[in-house]
Structure 1
Amino acid sequence: METINVPERNEVSENNQVIFDNLNSKLGFVPNLYATFAHSETALGDYLTFQNRKSSLKAKEREVINLVVSQVNECEYCLAAHTALGKMNGFTDDQILEIRTGEAAFDAKIDALANFVRDITVNRSKPSAEAVTRLFEAGYTKENLIDINMVIGDKIVSNFIHGSGQFAVDFPAAPKLEAELV
């Protein structure tokens, strides 16, 4: 049930048309999520600036956050997109599935990150003391904590845009988890 259509280039403002052209030249297409942001004059540009901000986190760590938040929020669009991006960043299919559960037995630092992100997302911004302690003990800093929250916020925005818009997923579907998280 699509509630927000995915606009074509000719249906968006000139400013958004320029962004569409840039995305098309970089990615080869304009993902439906990004196109949907273009219903607003400024949201697409604002979101891309937010998403591409400098961070103390590595690309792999950002994908861990994207996968966990998207799983907790059951966002099929973002799970599909970040499964593809997770693979591009070196995670295996099995590792991606495990990360989505909020765990990562294959790497202690990523495990602490995935656990923290699941905990703070499930508990609506209030992580347990144990999850915070594990995060810091794994080597994350206060700067990293702020950047982790920035990525969580970014992902929640895109999860909510898809959740309210219900537009088509234009990435290969992410496999379902055997057990639900919440």
Structure 2
Amino acid sequence: MTATITAIVPIQPETATGVARDLLDQVQKGLGLVPNMAKVMANSPTLLKGYLALSTAVGSGSLSAAVRERLAISTAQLNGCEYCLSAHTFIGGNIAKVDAAELDSARRAQSRDPHVAALLTLSNMIAENAGDVGDDALGAARAAGVTDAEIGEVVANLALNILTNYFNVLAHVENDWPVVGL
């Protein structure tokens, strides 16, 4: 994402009304701040509400925050979303406490941990092939210890990450995170 002017004007929390205001208040309470992505999403309360619901759902799964952040980084790199790459690199390092080498490896769907590497590889294969991965790909993931529940969660995380990647790229959301270039 190289544009610096957003294609969709952000809704400022202090001037938001109705459902948009309620949702932005929810973001503020949950994060202690309202990122630019949420401000731009607030133009469509349906979008922001759906994003928050899916984010909450995947956050309650069996995959750890450290794994989810690496999945997000891998997908952001794949989709060319500098905003999400920057946000999840920051969150991954500062909140999920993933070391810098692992965050960088996630950009290439790699990890020192074979189980995490299998999750990242599977996620990218699903994204690159619109879900049409062969039995050998699933077999390789399972051989690394990936469970059927985790396969489902990979798809849920992928859906969330594609949603935010596509939206941020489309809307040219101004990056308010420490920039990590593509």
TM-score above 0.5, yes or no? yes
Which amino acid is the alignment partner of residue 98 of structure 1? S
Q: What is the Cα deviation at residue 74 of structure 1?
A: 0.8
- Any stretches of 5+ residues in structure 2 without a counterpart? none
CA contact (8 A) 1:68 1:101 kept: yes
| Residue deviations 1:42-82 (CA, integer Å, cap 9, x gap) | 22122101111131322222112111111100100100110
What per-residue deviation string (whole Å, max 9, x for no partner) do you get for residues 66-119 of structure 1?
A: 111111001001001100121121211121111110111x11111111111122
One-letter code aligned to 2:137: A
User: Which residue is 1:50 aligned to?
Assistant: 54
Question: Does structure 1 retain, via aligned residues, the 8 Å contact 2:10–2:40?
Answer: yes
How many angstroms does 1:148 deviate by? 0.9
Measured after TM superposition, the shift of residue 128 of structure 1 is 4.2
**C-alpha root-mean-square deviation of aligned residues, in Å?**
1.7
The aligned counterpart of 2:125 is 119
Q: TM-score, normalised by structure 2?
A: 0.88
Structure-to-structure mapping, 1:17-166, within 5 angstroms: 17-53=21-57, 54-87=60-93, 88-104=95-111, 106-166=112-172
Post-superposition shift, 1:175? 4.5
CA distance 1:175–1:94, change in 2 (3 Å): farther
Q: Tell me which moved more, 117-126 or 63-72.
A: 117-126
Structure 2: distance between partners of 1:115 and 1:127: 11
Q: Distance in 2 between matches of 1:130 and 1:165?
A: 37
Change (3 A) 1:144 1:121: same
Question: Partner of 1:173 in structure 2?
Answer: 179
Whole-angstrom distance in 2 between the partners of 1:49 and 1:143: 19
TM-score by length of 1: 0.88
Is the counterpart of residue 15 in structure 1 residue 22 in structure 2?
A: no
Give the counterpart letter for 2:32 in structure 1: G
Percent identity between the two aligned chains: 25
How many angstroms apart in 2 are the aligned matches of 1:72 and 1:50?
21
2:28 & 2:11 partners in 1: Cα distance?
A: 14
Residue type of the alignment partner of 1:152: L
